Amino acid sequence: MSKKHDFILFDLDGTLSDPLQGIGRSINYALAHFGYPERALDDLRFCVGPPLKYSFRELTGTDSDAHVRELIDKYRERYGDVGYAENTLYPGIPEALAAIDAAGIPMGLCTSKRADFAERILDLFGLRQHFYFVSGGDVDIHKWEQIAALVADGIVSRASLMVGDREVDIDAAHRNGLAAGGVLWGFGSHAELAAGAPRYLFSQPAEIYPALAG
């Protein structure tokens, strides 16, 4: 099989698994600790994908970097204990990754989530063996910067493909000259993803591997 892309970068939250319960409950844990009202889980859907600092700024109205750091630390207290495991794998993901792996196309994970949390989630679902590496983010790191570092280090090339469910994934790929694929089963709407002009829009995981064939 000829290959359209030499490497596939996958987002995690909203792309491989649905993390809303664990993320939402951990956000509420942090909010409640500092006296803010808790939110319904559906009202926290916008928090899945972008870095936490933006979510906590919007939820609390604070402009204090130090307070945002406190909120994130409190969030991670619960998330690292139980929140990471309050996660549901999307149907068809194991099969899609296995097909790509079997075709000899290498994959990596590029997530705004801290790398150790991402590793634990992949281990939870028995998916870690499919990925050459896990690139995790932190408070002041943007996903486009993560990809830029991977390109600069020669780990991925501009022939690679970034697959994710939010506009931030599409933008991160395009800023670095990579193609992007948007998935419609996650937390980004069709309109949000289409506005970013990805090369691919996938409606189910089974569509990813066929699109990679030359």
20-69 pLDDT tens trace: 999 999 999 999 999 999 999 999 999 988 888 899 999 999 999 999 99
For the cut 70, the answer to whether the pLDDT of residue 214 exceeds it is no
Q: Other C-beta atoms within 10 Å of 163: how many?
A: 28
Q: Which residues are catalytic?
A: 11
* CA gap 15, 9 in Å, rounded: 11
81 class by beta-carbon count within 10 Å (0-12 exposed, 13-18 middle, 19+ buried): exposed
For 144-190, what is each residue's pLDDT tens digit? 999 999 999 999 999 999 999 999 999 999 999 999 999 999 999 99
Residues with Cβ within 8 Å of residue 91, at least 6 apart in sequence: 205
